[in-house]
């Protein structure tokens, strides 16, 4: 993400999305968050310039185009999401959704193959820990530009309940286990 770019984040109120909105904003992007009606105010409060309520509006049909889309939900077909990208935009599918046997592998391979035939980049999210990135994130946290959004806290004895809650989807920020 570069200053001045337009960034759209689906699942903007979730555990990954709530951080992504704030980080993209801190990097100087114009950020659009996609979430449900109950989370619109939360997504605005963490810095989104624009919010799309997916229960009322399909972001792939608004005519808006984005330089970067971080798709934490993958509720829309890949072709529809690509239409919401600029001609040289980057799509990062990040939900882990996929088929029964191969999980997200099919969508990752499809994205890689399509990247060879278009100027759009389709880059499945891959976590690579780099010391410099972690230090930059620590700076954003200590400066207050990025903050944790905590949905619920569970004790260690309630870890199974916490996992069930996260597994049901629609968390608002992070779910914390206290030890």
> Residue 176: in which H helix or E strand, if any?
strand 174-178
Per-residue pLDDT reduced to its tens digit, 131-151:
999 999 999 999 999 999 999
pTM, entire model: 0.86
- Give residue for tokens 């009322």: 56
| Interior/surface letters 49-88, b for 16+ CB within 10 angstroms, e for the rest | eebbbbeeeebbeeeeebbbbbbbbbbbeeeebbebbeee
| Residues 6 or more apart in contact with residue 133 via CB below 8 angstroms | none
Indicate if the pLDDT at residue 101 is higher than 90.
no
pLDDT tier at 123 (50, 70, 90 boundaries)? confident
Per-residue pLDDT reduced to its tens digit, 51-93:
999 999 999 999 999 999 999 998 898 889 999 999 999 999 8
Cite the beta strand spans of 4-163 per DSSP E.
Answer: 6-10, 30-35, 50-53, 66-71, 85-93, 121-122, 150-155
């Amino acid at each position: 993400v570069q200053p001045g770019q337009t960034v759209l984040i689906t699942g903007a109120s979730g555990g990954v999305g709530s951080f992504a909105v704030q980080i993209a904003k801190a990097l100087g992007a114009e950020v659009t968050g996609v979430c449900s009606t109950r989370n619109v105010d939360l997504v605005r409060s963490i810095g989104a310039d624009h919010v799309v309520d997916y229960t009322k509006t399909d972001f792939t049909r608004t005519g808006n185009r984005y330089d970067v889309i971080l798709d934490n939900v993958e509720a829309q077909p890949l072709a529809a999401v690509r239409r919401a990208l600029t001609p040289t935009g980057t799509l990062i599918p990040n939900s882990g959704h996929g088929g029964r046997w191969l999980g997200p592998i099919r969508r990752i391979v499809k994205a890689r193959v399509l990247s060879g035939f278009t100027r759009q980049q389709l880059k499945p999210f891959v976590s690579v820990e780099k010391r410099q990135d972690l230090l930059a994130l620590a700076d954003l946290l200590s400066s207050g530009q990025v903050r944790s959004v905590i949905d619920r806290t569970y004790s260690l004895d309630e870890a199974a309940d916490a996992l069930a809650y996260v597994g049901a989807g629609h968390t608002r920020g992070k779910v914390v286990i206290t030890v």
